[in-house]
Amino acid sequence: MSCTTLLVGKKASYDGSTIIARTDDGDFDVKKLIVVNPKDQPKKYKSVISHLEIELPDHPMRYTATPNVDKKKGIWAAHGINEANVAMTATETISTNALVMGADPYVKYEKAKSKKEKDKAGGIGEEDLVVLVLPYIHNAREGVERLAGLLEKYGTYEPNGIAFSDDKEIWWLETIGGHHWIARRVKDEEYVVMPNQFGIDKFDFKDAFGAKKEYMCSADLKEFIAQNHLDCNNDGNFNPRNVFGSHTDSDHVYCTPRSWYMGRYFNPTTYKWDGPDADFTPESDNIPWSFVPERKITVEDVKYILSSYYQGTPYNPYNPGNDPEKGKYRSIGIGRTGVTAILQVRGYMPKEIQAVEWITFGSNAFNTAIPFYTNTGRMPKYVKDVTTDVSTENFFWASRLIGALADPYFPVTAQMIERYQEGTANESHRLLSEYDRKMTEKNDFSLMEKANEDLAEMAQKESVRCLNQILNHACRNMRNNYSRKDH
């Protein structure tokens, strides 16, 4: 699953929130936003892809999820926040290399070759992780620990990066081969960029095997590296990306340009990003995993950068003309995105309303982000009642329709999209402020469902308005139009 992740520490964000966000770039998967109440959480989980059965703990917590509507390939819950205000996004597909895979192969499902044999279950993967972990953790660190235990016991069949956050900190875990893992705490003053590659570029083994303040890893990771001759660093410093990551030509087209553009946006003057003497180019292998931003990062910044397609560069696929650089690199905001979640935990608010999940569906270049309070028993129909059939009655398909109709007429519809995004962002913040104030002043948090319904109603009204405008333009510019009118 090719995705892009952005992590924002609490001192790097505009309001002291922790923010973790990811685009879920599947194969045009139909998605919805739901609440999973404890009675709906399975006691025994069975994965579709790996045929693995796992007994789950008692007393799960309520949590939000953005699962596939069509369950034939599994749940794929993708993102969520639980009732303890712990957020999780799973997963960013990352990269690895042949040395790692030879040392610790993936645990893949194997169908029995004869009736006398039994099928061999595979490990856990993106399909499963949110359901297996999020309902049972009370802080971000516990998320790393629970997932690590599952990886070591069952293994995985794919390389993944997973983020956890609470009101105080963010942790990022990356899998290594079938059973190993490494994790690093995001510094409060930094943000992290992740574009489908193994990302962590610094690691402190002393801390990982001591206090574990900033780093954690598999108990045998040192031995695993030494026994399999994995350490390819040559300067005395341990860079996990050089050891566990990939170094391919395709990375320079598909992955690193996204890190370059995100760093260029948040740190435009810290480094030189363009020209022959640039510190980093779209094809640089040494773009840092984390940066201190030049200014505090807002939710709108996160939405913008995860929607971007190299605006202001020769690589923008919407640039006019036939510049050979046009569309050269894989955009961050692409057409096949199913859902993007911006998970915000606001430590300064009462526990009941700390967590807000900003949701977008479809291609981020053309959609908008709407916030929903997560500590509630249900979500509005506009985001949860989604089917595989196209309908303007839900946010998913309205967003898909807007994107598909706007894309061919980009020079004109870009203005309509910009007004749509700005209008909904303004109204979202107004409604959040209004309901934050009401609930805090009255100490009455039962208003959360009403708040979410008002936010959904606003999203529906503005989405219909935008769709009307774009459809009207598309109809007037169909190729079979003719100047003579029959009236």
DSSP string for 401-422: HHHHHHGGGHHHHHHHHHHHHH
Residue in 356, 392, 360 with CA at minimum distance from that of residue 15: 356
Q: Among 365, 394, 412, which residue terminates a domain? A: 365
337 and 410, same domain (yes or no): no
pLDDT band at 1 (very low <50, low <70, confident <90, very high): low
Residues belonging to the chain: 487
Whether 252 maps to a domain, the answer reads yes
357 and 412, same domain (yes or no): no
400 and 354, same domain (yes or no): no
Residue 486 scores a pLDDT above 80: no
Averaged over 266-288, what is the pLDDT? 97
The reported pLDDT for the residue numbered 416 is: 98
pLDDT digits (tens, 9 = 90+) for 381-435: 999 999 999 999 999 999 999 999 999 999 999 999 999 999 999 999 999 999 9
pLDDT digits (tens, 9 = 90+) for 145-182: 999 999 999 999 999 999 999 999 999 999 999 999 99
218 and 291, same domain (yes or no): yes
pLDDT band at 40 (very low <50, low <70, confident <90, very high): very high
Whether 372 maps to a domain, the answer reads no
**CA-only gyration radius of the chain, Å:** 23
Please tell me whether the peptide bond between 91 and the residue prior to it is cis, using omega within 30 degrees of 0.
yes
The reported pLDDT for the residue numbered 419 is: 98
pLDDT digits (tens, 9 = 90+) for 90-148: 999 999 999 999 999 999 999 998 988 999 999 999 999 999 999 999 999 999 999 99
Whether 154 maps to a domain, the answer reads yes
- Helices 395-406 and 410-442: angle between axes, nearest 10 degrees: 150
pLDDT band at 2 (very low <50, low <70, confident <90, very high): confident
The reported pLDDT for the residue numbered 329 is: 98
334 and 393, same domain (yes or no): no
Averaged over 3-15, what is the pLDDT? 98
Catalytic residue among 3, 217, 255, 466: 3
The reported pLDDT for the residue numbered 483 is: 75
Whether 371 maps to a domain, the answer reads no
267 and 126, same domain (yes or no): yes
Report the distance separating Cα 407 and Cα 412, nearest Å: 10
Whether 122 maps to a domain, the answer reads yes
The reported pLDDT for the residue numbered 264 is: 98
Whether 276 maps to a domain, the answer reads yes
424 and 325, same domain (yes or no): no
Residue 258 scores a pLDDT above 70: yes
Averaged over 185-200, what is the pLDDT? 97
What's the burial of 177, exposed, middle or buried (CB within 10 Å: 0-12/13-18/19+)?
buried
Residue 70 scores a pLDDT above 80: yes
Calculate what percentage of the chain has a pLDDT beyond 70: 99
Residue 484 scores a pLDDT above 80: no
368 Cβ contact partners less than 8 Å away, ≥ 6 residues apart: 360, 399, 420, 421, 424, 425, 459, 462, 463
Averaged over 206-234, what is the pLDDT? 97
For the question of residue 466 being annotated catalytic, the response is no
Whether 50 maps to a domain, the answer reads yes
Residue 23 scores a pLDDT above 90: yes
The reported pLDDT for the residue numbered 284 is: 97
> What's the structural domain count of the chain?
2
Residue 475 scores a pLDDT above 90: yes
Structural domain containing residue 62: 4-365
361 and 389, same domain (yes or no): no
210 and 358, same domain (yes or no): yes
For the chain, give the mean pLDDT: 97
361 and 390, same domain (yes or no): no
Averaged over 265-275, what is the pLDDT? 98
Averaged over 35-41, what is the pLDDT? 98
Report the distance separating Cα 108 and Cα 443, nearest Å: 51
Grouping H, G, I as helix, E, B as strand and the rest as coil, residue 374 is coil
pLDDT digits (tens, 9 = 90+) for 463-473: 999 999 999 99
What's the burial of 363, exposed, middle or buried (CB within 10 Å: 0-12/13-18/19+)?
buried
97 and 154, same domain (yes or no): yes
389 and 358, same domain (yes or no): no
The reported pLDDT for the residue numbered 487 is: 61
pLDDT band at 376 (very low <50, low <70, confident <90, very high): very high
Give the CATH number for residue 264: 3.60.60
